[in-house]
Amino acid sequence: MTLMHMEEGVELFPIGVTSFSGVNPFPSEWRWSAKNMEDLPCVNIPKHDAMWSTLKEQYRNCVGEELLANTVMQSEKKVTICVTGPLSSVAWCIDKYGEQFTNNVEACVIMGGAVDVKGNVFEEGRDGSAEWNIYWDPPAAETVFSCPSLKKVVFSLDSTNSVPVISSVVRRFGAQNDYLLSQFVGSAWASCTHYEVMRPDDCYYAWDVLTAAYVVDPQLAVLDPVDLRVVVTKSAQEGRSQRIDGHGNNLLLVRSIDRDGFYELVYASMKKALCSECSI
């Protein structure tokens, strides 16, 4: 955020930490990998670091779910929410404020679920049908999916499986390495390309980036109205996203995406913060 603010003039925005613990927390190895991103040289330029140190103290006591609710309800125009993690905060807002919250949401764009493809939760006692963002807090996901007053656009594994992060994709960032954002994304994604060797049929995918890209360019996706429910019981299918008939829960599932258009949007968007114009 501070990089984009200082180099590209992007407005600063508040950041909050939610109060929730996962029903089924992410594996420790995944959470620890955030440390690798934090230590990348391109995001540790001293002047950016100094600004972040100040902002971090300012936002230390900012509660994420309250920030979300207040931001939406106090907005003069409808807000599009992009959720690339568990749905706990959105569910909290629905439970506490109901239509006072949902009526000011244009759409809630969600990365989560696996409908007609296998999931990615392979924990003991689970059958592999669930996807991790939904599995983290199944009751919250069910609250959001079943809310008729909230429009949902869902990028499940059915669509995100179309955008693998593989060597041929990542190496193209080398041609625009003069930009800090290209260095950041290229380096971050390069740390994931070994999965295409380890698991050729189940590598790393641009799950969250595709979801966010849709907010920038909705023409990237074709949507179908689908009613879904989430399995909330402690069972082999816990967290599974299932089709149901005739429920009318105001949900659009991404059926297909413009894969080439997505990658080109990513490359173009990362041509920001030209290194030669950035002072240390």
pLDDT digits (tens, 9 = 90+) for 254-268: 999 999 999 999 999
How much is the pLDDT for 279?
67
Separation CA 86–CA 111 (nearest Å): 9
Phi, psi of 17 (to 5 degrees): -110, 125
CA-angle at 113, arms to 134 and 212, nearest 5°: 95
Of the candidates 99, 184, 183, 113, the residue with the CA atom closest to the CA atom of residue 142: 113
pLDDT for 184-203, tens place per residue? 999 999 999 999 999 888 89
Q: Which amino acid is at 180?
A: L
Is there a contact between 111 and 136 (Cβ–Cβ < 8 Å)?
no
Residue 270 tokens, joined: 């990362």
H or E stretch covering 100: helix 99-102
pLDDT for 17-32, tens place per residue? 999 999 999 999 889 9
What CATH number does the domain containing 107 carry? 3.90.245.10
Q: Is 228 helix (H, G, I), strand (E, B) or coil?
A: strand
How many other CB atoms sit within 10 Å of the CB of residue 43?
A: 19
Hunting for tokens 């006072």 — which residue is that? 100
Q: Is 268 helix (H, G, I), strand (E, B) or coil?
A: helix
pTM of this prediction? 0.95
Count how many residues are written for the chain.
280
Domain count, the chain: 1
Residue 172 tokens, joined: 């193209």
Q: Is 179 helix (H, G, I), strand (E, B) or coil?
A: strand
Show the domain range for 235. 2-277
The band of 280, judged by pLDDT with boundaries at 50, 70 and 90, is: low
Percent of the chain surpassing pLDDT 90: 88
pLDDT for 47-70, tens place per residue? 999 999 999 999 999 999 999 999
- Using the predicted structure, report yes or no on whether residue 271 has a pLDDT greater than 70: yes
pLDDT for 140-175, tens place per residue? 999 999 999 999 999 999 999 999 999 999 999 999
The band of 214, judged by pLDDT with boundaries at 50, 70 and 90, is: very high
